[in-house]
Amino acid sequence: MTHALHLTPTRPESVARVLVAAGAVLGAASLAGAPPATAGAAFALVVAGGLVNALAAFARPPGAPTDGVWFRSNSSRGLVGWAWGAALTGLYVVLYFRPAWLAGWTDAAAPLREALTGATGDGGQWFVYSLLYTTAVVVMGARMLVRHRDSRYQTLRTLSVMAVQTVLAFLLPSLLARLQQPELYLHYTWPLDFDLFFPSGVAALRAEGRLGIVALAWFVALLVVATPVLTYLYGKRWYCSWVCGCGALAETAGDPYRHLGPTGLTAWRVERWMVHGVLALVALVTGLLWAAALTDLAWLDGVAGALSGAYGFYVGALFAGVVGVGFYPLLGSRVWCRFGCPMAAILGLQQRFFSRFRITVNGGQCISCGRCSAFCEMGIDVRHYAQRGQNVVRASCVGCGICAEVCPRGVLRLENGPDTGASRTARATLIEDLDILAD
């Protein structure tokens, strides 16, 4: 379902903007040395504003709001969009390079951190980051649930990423830390968790005893068994749109910016080289570290160590964090997933050549409106396929289903099953009929 053009905010939307703006001001003040209570008030105001904004969507028709996005400052790279981009980028820069500036935030979160993890002292900035990240997914996930309240597929997908982020990425690691066990993130594996299978990472898990050995077996099974099997059955969407924390933030907090991703053949060529180049780099670094560990060559260990440090800084911190999230309002919500995520590269290769998942088309119903292409967060020209009656089988597709939802004629459908190469012409079905487990 699509919206009529609504540019004037409703009263609840105006209230939400005021609350978020006030929270942002207090948050900045806390960085400048204001009392810890200022950071707590900033957090409460931003959360309240986000929830009011989510509930305000009940005043709009359900479905993806496609009209007017290029007339709003926030979603058209206007002043508000640039301001949010600067704020997000600044947050990541401070987090990685000036954590002392977050003293007000860490002090405000210290009671919650101690209650959940039992930890005190240094390292509080990472708890604050995890808390902010999880809150963003949950609050903006509520917005997604309201906006897409008529879509079973979008509802289940959003509930999934909210639950995984809250339980597996926030509560479970906190509980393990309180029990003085390693903080395990069971929904990540190599190569996204790039140092997991480094010699030092494997040794650290083995040193934890039985829990570490079980966790190591889990991570190996997730990579070599679950990943190929689930991708064969359901495409990379099982991970990128239902499980992954990066995808969770992109599909919730990043949703207003999904249409801003780079498009065209040049972007596609750059994307292919970059994402597979990052995969090759992390594989090279991992291989060199193991070769150095097994041969005990000092020079090789030095080279491998320098490469791993460079990867962690330039890819793990700058690309995945600063650019991958900070540039949402400028380059779209999936810039990291498209151009840098090595896990997406593996899943994409499996999806392109060995998966039953594809987007089928009823080309005879296509009116070439272009909504599908405009709102594809991965920059795929879906209309090109629909006009020609070709099924969409692309390595980069994360199966979010928005292209099918914004289509006014029901041309597109997400399906699992043998790909005969033929398009779907018998009938047009809407997104609410979709089932990720359907054959």
Domains of the chain: 265-343 (no CATH), 356-433 (3.30.70.20)
8 Å CB contact between 378 and 397: yes
Whether the per-residue pLDDT at 438 is higher than 50: the answer is no
387-420 pLDDT, tens digit each? 999 999 999 999 999 999 999 999 999 999 775 6
Helix (H) or strand (E) holding 361, with range, is strand 357-361
pLDDT at position 436 = 47
Q: What is residue 390's predicted lDDT score, i.e. its pLDDT?
A: 92
Rounded CA-CA distance 19/348 in Å is: 40
Measured distance CA(263)–CA(374) in Å, rounded: 9
pLDDT at 56 > cutoff 50: yes
pLDDT on residue 396: 96
- List CB contacts of 335: < 8 A, sequence separation 6 or more: 261, 323, 324, 327, 328
Q: What is the mean pLDDT of the chain?
A: 91
Q: How confident is the model at residue 275 (pLDDT cuts 50, 70, 90)?
A: very high
- pLDDT tens for 98-143 read 999 999 999 999 999 999 999 887 778 999 999 999 999 999 999 9
* pLDDT band of 267, cuts 50, 70, 90: very high
| pTM score of the predicted model | 0.92
CA 304 from centroid of its chain's CA atoms? 29
- Reply yes or no on whether the pLDDT at 317 is more than 50: yes
pLDDT of residue 422: 54
Q: How confident is the model at residue 186 (pLDDT cuts 50, 70, 90)?
A: very high
User: 345 and 336 in contact (C-beta within 8 Å)?
Assistant: no
Q: Which residues pair with 415 in a beta bridge?
A: 358
Average pLDDT over residues 317-330: 95
Confidence at 239, pLDDT banded by 50, 70, 90 = very high
Angle at 136 between CA 26 and CA 339, to 5 degrees: 115
What's the pLDDT tens digit per position in 169-182? 999 999 999 999 99
Residue 7's pLDDT is 61
Q: What is the mean pLDDT of residues 223-237?
A: 97
Confidence of residue 424 (pLDDT cuts 50, 70, 90): very low
pLDDT of residue 258: 95
**Band of pLDDT at residue 434, cut at 50, 70 and 90:** very low
> Which one has a higher pLDDT value, 352 or 424?
352
Q: Can you give the pLDDT at residue 360? A: 94
Per-residue pLDDT band at 6 (split at 50, 70, 90): low
Q: Assess whether pLDDT exceeds 90 at residue 428.
A: no
Give yes or no for residue 164 having a pLDDT over 50: yes
Q: Is residue 3 over pLDDT 50?
A: no
Query: Averaged over 295-322, what is the pLDDT?
Result: 94
In sequence order, which residues have a C-beta less than 8 Å from that of residue 350 and are 6 or more positions away? 227, 228, 231, 232, 236
Measuring CA to CA, how many Å separate 150 from each of 38, 265, 405?
A: 39, 34, 10
**pLDDT value of position 419:** 58
Q: Write the CB contacts of 144 (distance below 8 Å, at least 6 apart in sequence).
A: 154, 158, 251, 252, 255
> Which three-class secondary structure string do you get for 378-423?
CCCCHHHHHHHCCCECCCCCCCCCHHHHHCCCCCEEEEECCCCCCC
